[in-house]
Amino acid sequence: MKTKRLVADGTEAATHYEEAVQALRSGELVAFPTETVYGLGALATDEEAVQSIFTAKGRPSDNPLIVHIGDQEQVREFARSVDDVAEQLMDAFWPGPLTLIFYKKENVLAPSVTAGLETVGLRMPDHPVALQLLRAIREPIAAPSANKSGKPSPTEADHVFTDLDGDVRVIIDGGSTAVGVESTILDLTTDVPTILRPGGVTKEQLERVIGPVEEDVAVGKEEAPRAPGMKYMHYAPEAPLFVFNLATAHLNEAIAAIHASGQKVAVVGPEELYDDEADWYFTIGRLHHPDEMAANLYRALRQCDLTDADVILAIETDMHGVGQAVMNRLTKASGGKTYESKQ
């Protein structure tokens, strides 16, 4: 299949949306930018189209997809019930990087979207391209991140081309995504709302609106998670990645030790710690600016794949705000490995 790039701004934009809508309506895949990462979209009511998402990504079939909508009212078409807490959350954070898990209505969405679960994840993305597409088509779009399964999520159209050229009909190029890590997933089917994946909206922000929120025990650990996708190896570059804790190790010593063993090292870290002894140093923002680190993390992980580094060290970030999501992704990308554990 020939993959076409459509650039979202400029005079042709309206025609582009029409073309993308046509492709989706005829059961094809369209990748598009959201405020978090690029999504790989199919009509959520078209079982065959949804199955082709799993094929294109190489995604395990037990991993459900988030359904994107362009209008808050559409929630009632897919969720069995919508209580006050849900309303408050949608009013406060939609459109935005928050996915809400509801009990689903039966026989509305294609079965593969929810991978056999009784629940469905819904989100209204805060990106002009995504919203325009959703509003033009007036149908729900199922969309996981537009990467091959296991790879870092795409934050630029070129990342989507790298992974999925020839597998999708259209990639809408809307530039770099702003948030850079995926949406927060909040389960509303538990007694106390539970975060299944930390993301663009923080726990503190949620609690300010609805009071206490819990965190799934599996977040940040290697236990069986309730968001099925969280159990798989994720976001991983080619070379082994180790999370590097500044409190327990010195970067220059680590680099020297790696060099002494005849290996090359790429470092992913903050500007302030730039070390020219590293074979590659990819800066992802300023030390205490987790939002910058979130925005640049996946690009840096993909840049590591363009080097011939044998080892990647990713420096721990602080856990404020979206920093928790950044550390969650780094932990996953490392498969739980830290630099100390390598000694």
Listed ranges 3-11, 12-20, 64-72, 319-327: which one lies at the site for ligand TXA (CB under 6 A): 64-72
- 276-282 long-range contacts, Cβ below 8 Å, gap at least 24? 277/252, 278/313, 279/307, 279/309, 280/304, 280/307, 280/309
| Contact between 144 and ligand TXA per CB under 6 A | yes
**Binding segment (CB under 6 A) for ligand TXA, from list 44-52, 119-127, 156-164, 280-288:** 119-127
| Residue 82 or 164 with smaller CB distance to Mg ion | 164
Strands 311-315 and 265-269: parallel
CB of 234 to Mg ion, least distance (A): 7
If the CB atoms of residues 96 and 285 are measured against ligand TXA, the closer one turns out to be 96
CB of 224 to ligand TXA, least distance (A): 12
Residue 152, binding choice from Mg ion, ligand TXA, none, Cβ under 5 to 8 Å by partner class? none
Using the rule CB under 5 A, is 145 a contact of Mg ion? yes
Q: Does 37 bind ligand TXA (CB under 6 A)?
A: yes
Give how far Cα 325 sits from Cα of 29, 48, 125, 184, Å.
Answer: 28, 33, 18, 8
Q: Which is nearer to ligand TXA, 191 or 253 (CB)?
A: 191
CA dihedral 151, 113, 322, 226 (to 10 degrees): -100
Quote the CA–CA distance of 335 and 343 in Å, as a whole number.
16
Structure tokens at 100: 């809400």
Task: Name which of ligand TXA, Mg ion, none residue 177 binds, using a CB cut-off of 5 to 8 Å depending on partner kind.
Answer: none
Residue environment code for 308-320, b if the CB has 16+ CB neighbours within 10 A, otherwise e: ebebbbbbbbeee
CA 228 remoteness from chain centre? 14
Contact 169, 182 (CB under 8 A): no
Span interacting with ligand TXA, options 34-42, 81-89, 253-261, 330-338, rule CB under 6 A:
34-42
Interaction site with ligand TXA (CB under 6 A): 34, 36-37, 39, 63-66, 97, 99, 101, 114, 117, 119-121, 123, 125, 143-145, 182-183, 185, 196-197, 226-230
